Amino acid sequence: MSNAKHYLEAEADIDISSVSLSFSARAWSSIKKDKIAFLSVIIVIFLMLVAIFAPWFAPKDPLFQYPEGLSKIGAPQGPGSHFFLGTDQNGRDVLSRLIFGARVSLTVGVVATALASLIGVVIGTVSGYLGGWIESILMRLTDVVLSFPLLLFCIALIAVTGPSTKNVVLVIAFAYWTYLARIIRSQVLSLKEREFVIAARSLGLTTPQIIRRHIIPHLIPTIIVYSTLGVATSILIEASLSFLGIGVPLPQPSWGEMISEGQKYFQSAPWLLVAPGVTMIIAVLAFNLMGDWLTDLFDASTKVAQR
């Protein structure tokens, strides 16, 4: 029994390693052929680098109100050599605020999605594998959260907790985990009836061992795709909350807050709205396109593995 158990575990490790190598080769081959996917990945990597190294990319202090940033009548300065994307109504450099806004918006998007994914995977896996009254309770909780529109639910939670960066992250995570939990549960229900799981169970592996070694590896493609698409959704939710004035608190810049301020001056200073608006559209589109590419890639890998 012990030898059989070790053989099963070793075989699983070999399979995962070989699949990882072949998947990497297919991913590289696929992205070289798909120019849109390649561009989206480059944009996502660039935005992440800008967010991480914002103090080095930003040409000026995003919070400092430059006297030369306003005209003699107090109007914002347009794009030029001194202020590449112009200034806002307070004389602050728009480009620097846009770069630091990327740090805030992407941090909220990535962290909130990571928390939502963690919660969704745990609840979906536990409910799908254990079943019974545990599944009933967890899925009823999921149904309750899903019954509320996502943005309205986030607004209601923020109204209770109060606006702050930490609360925005927690609210988005708490409102968004349900979508992955449903998907994970349905996959686990199918996986636990597969031959390799039944064999592992008959060999005496414990439930945590089976989940960690034989269930979770098969859920990784779904988690990656969901997380990539979830970042785009989280960015939009954060921007919506900040646009309404209940998201990231001032004076910390975020794309939603910049859009909210920019729409007030659209006719006299359109760059205040166009710069953050176009940047956010590009970011959301890049994450969505990368998610679509990953979906196609994992689907193709699954078909190859089943041959």
Closest CA to 241 of 156, 177, 144: 156
Question: 2-63+92-306, superfamily in CATH?
Answer: MetI-like (1.10.3720.10)
CA distance 132 to 111: 32
Q: What percent of the chain has pLDDT over 90?
A: 41
User: Residue 287 pLDDT > 50, yes or no?
Assistant: yes
Evaluate the omega torsion of the peptide bond into residue 251 and state whether it is cis, within 30 degrees of 0: yes
Tokens in use for 14?
A: 């070999």
| Domain assignments of the chain as residue spans, ordered by start | 2-63+92-306
User: Residue 117 pLDDT > 80, yes or no?
Assistant: yes
Looking at every residue in the chain, the average pLDDT score rounds to 85
User: Residue 178 pLDDT > 80, yes or no?
Assistant: yes
Of 12-16, 119-123, 137-141, 193-197, the least confident: 12-16
pLDDT digits (tens, 9 = 90+) for 60-71: 888 888 888 777
User: Residue 168 pLDDT > 50, yes or no?
Assistant: yes
Residue 249: pLDDT band (50, 70, 90) is: confident
User: Residue 28 pLDDT > 70, yes or no?
Assistant: yes
- Note the pLDDT of residue 69: 73
* Mean pLDDT value of segment 254-264: 89
Q: What percent of the chain has pLDDT over 70?
A: 90
* Mean pLDDT value of segment 157-176: 91
- Note the pLDDT of residue 172: 94
| More confident of the two residues 269 and 118 | 118
pLDDT digits (tens, 9 = 90+) for 32-42: 787 888 999 99
